[in-house]
Amino acid sequence: MASPVFDHVIVGGGLAGCVIASRLKEYSAESKILLVEAGGDTRDRPDIANSHAMNLGVPDVDWQYQTVPQKHLSDRSVLFNAGKGLGGGTLINAGGWTRGAAADFNEWASLVGDSRWSYEGQLPWMKKTERWLSKDVNAEQHGFDGYMHTCNLETTGRRYPLTDAIGAAWDEELMGVKPLPGFDANAGNNLGRALVCEAWNSGKRQWSASVYPLDGVEIMTETLVEKILLEANRDGKPVAAKGVQLADGSCIRSHNVICCAGAFRSPQLLMLSGVGPPEHLSDHGIQKLVDLPAVGQGLTDHPLLFQRWRLRDPDAGYMVGSDNPLFQQPEFGLGQPSDWMVLTTVAQGGLARAIEKDQGAVPDMDKHPLLSSPRTFIETVSMHFKMPGPDMPMDAAHMSTAMFNLLPTSRGSVTLSSDKIQDPPVVDVNYLSTEVDRYVFREALRTTAKLMLGTEFGREYIEGESVPPPLQPASLDDTDENLDQRVRAGATCGWHASGTCAMGKVVDTEFRVYGVEGLRVVDASVLPVPLSAHLQAPIYAMAEQAASIIAGRS
């Protein structure tokens, strides 16, 4: 066998892939690194940089996966956007910068038995990624020298006409929500009212390939990797990764392979290479080299539901899209038209009953990870425009709210559709398959209805909810049945897929695939638990620590 050409081949030039390639080159200038990306080179794309363009549905930067029909979403197939091209998901996301709660990371660390993955263990890497634009934040929690410019609404100077009224509504006794210190949800405790935090630089999108230098890294774009070249067991030695085979049949040799292809493509690539559930591999005529049943299992996402609220005075100029000259001011071009991000828990009694229904046994309130302390289940974001939807065109007469279930207990899977990488995998998120998830959404809907209909703000500004027929608009006394119907009809993906190559089941705490030498997976697929965060901030931090581990520095 010829000597490997590269020290590291990184498969997937998304968020994690670009961070790891950049840092490995920085840590060892003489190392030979190849980054292989299925999409194009996006680094000189001015259209990508527009902060108001999520780039969803743009074919050359979006895989546009379709889930299988979702049983608990009225058998709807859900469009699941996923970034394609150098930068991955950071090409198309909304720019939200949220870490999640310390409890999430501590559960992760406890589960895998490694304190590096606790909140305190990851905090230095969270800070390393950040270049916080306001000095009026907790310096023990935030960084000021990283590549990612981060700021909140106040830093940009923009204030929407209803921002203060909505904030006051959350503070009413009816809502029971307290403002977080400094309105900062990125300091370990995220339960409360915070200002939306964003990763924009002077109103321009930052994506991993545009901010992390890739000088000296060899890059192949518009190139699919067909499989990882694995050398089978011989003389008692374990299976070893020796490089990759491209879709055109050519091979590239390497000492190490790092798979950063994301929660859908990383498990697909492992399975096409002979690593995964043996029966499933056999069904597609693939020789099993390593028996790892958890590959492709455990898929989770943060399901999302939008609501549109009709203003009592549609001509007042409150919303973006109106003729209010305020919105022509330059600061309103510096980020998305949203302000408050409110993170809440749910009543433990109802949660315990839902867990009992799912598990068939009464949970231990002191030991169950979702019950032993208040956890962050719901994120509600107020948006100063009308989110378009089916039969719901844009206008300036509505505002919107978005709610995420941040700690779902439903689990799905990614499986093979064929033995070819050109064919997308079968994606089944299995949304809302647990009573816990249905309970959380009911609580979220009731909370938003109270805010929009039961507070002083709601009574003064909101006429009601607008919904497409045959749905019924929200009320303050909705039944569980009505709420469940709303979720079945309207919930969609949150674009935060994870868990399909979980740490502790598929990879160890240094990202090494069990049973294979020289092969690692580093991307959202390795998250062993859901995080109460939009995933880009945690994945940047994880990739920073992973690069240090791979380089032998940690």
The secondary structure of 347-390 as a DSSP string is -HHHHHHHHHHHHSS---TTT-TTTSS----EEEEEESSPPPBT
Q: For the chain, how long is the longest CA-to-CA vector?
A: 78
**Which amino acid makes up residue 490?**
G
Which of the four pLDDT bands, split at 50, 70 and 90, describes residue 393?
confident
For residues 193-202, average pLDDT: 94
Domains 6-47+55-69+80-87+207-299+497-550 and 94-206+304-407+432-490 share a fold: no
**Alpha helix locations (H) across 414-455?**
435-449
Quick one: what percent of the chain has pLDDT higher than 90? 90
Taking the C-alpha atoms of residue 96 and residue 199, their distance in angstroms, rounded to an integer, is: 6
Label residue 1 by pLDDT band (50, 70, 90). Answer: very low
Query: Is residue 324 a contact partner of residue 161, using CB atoms and an 8 Å limit?
Result: yes
Binding residues for FAD are 225, 495-496
Domain locations along the chain: 6-47+55-69+80-87+207-299+497-550, 94-206+304-407+432-490
pLDDT at 315: 96
Q: Which residues are annotated as a binding site?
A: 225, 495-496
Superfamily name with CATH number, domain 94-206+304-407+432-490: Glucose Oxidase, domain 3 (3.30.560.10)
Q: Distance between terminal CA atoms of the chain?
A: 32
Closest CA to 269 of 457, 424, 465: 424
> Distance between CA 519 and CA 433 in Å, rounded?
33
pLDDT (mean) for 250-279: 98
Catalytic site residues?
A: 496, 534
Reduced to 3 states, what is the DSSP secondary structure of residue 515?
coil
pLDDT band at 235 (very low <50, low <70, confident <90, very high): confident
Q: Is the pLDDT of residue 357 over 90?
A: yes
**Phi and psi torsions of 163, nearest 5°:** -55, -50
3.40.50.720, 3.50.50.60, 1.10.645.10, 1.10.287.3240: CATH of 6-47+55-69+80-87+207-299+497-550: 3.50.50.60
Buried b (16+ CB within 10 A) or exposed e, 152-170: bbebbebebbbbebbbebb
Cα–Cα nearest to 401, from 495, 494, 307 = 307
State residue 52's pLDDT score. Answer: 62
Q: Determine which of 81-95, 222-236, 489-503, 523-537 has the lowest per-residue pLDDT on average.
A: 222-236
pLDDT tens column, 418-465: 999 999 999 999 999 999 999 999 999 999 999 999 999 999 999 999
CA 147 to chain centre: 20
Average pLDDT across the chain, whole number: 96
Report the relative pairing of strands 398-405 and 304-311 from DSSP bridges.
antiparallel
* DSSP calls for 94-159: --B-----HHHHHHHHHHHT-GGGSHHHHHHHHHHHEEES-SSS-TTT--BSSSEEEEEHHHHT--
What is the arrangement of strands in the sheet containing 462-466, beginning at the earlier edge strand? Answer: 192-195, 338-344, 378-383, 398-405, 304-311, 462-466
Collapse the DSSP code of 412 into the 3-class scheme (helix H, G, I; strand E, B; otherwise coil) and give the result.
strand
Q: What is the mean pLDDT of residues 126-137?
A: 90
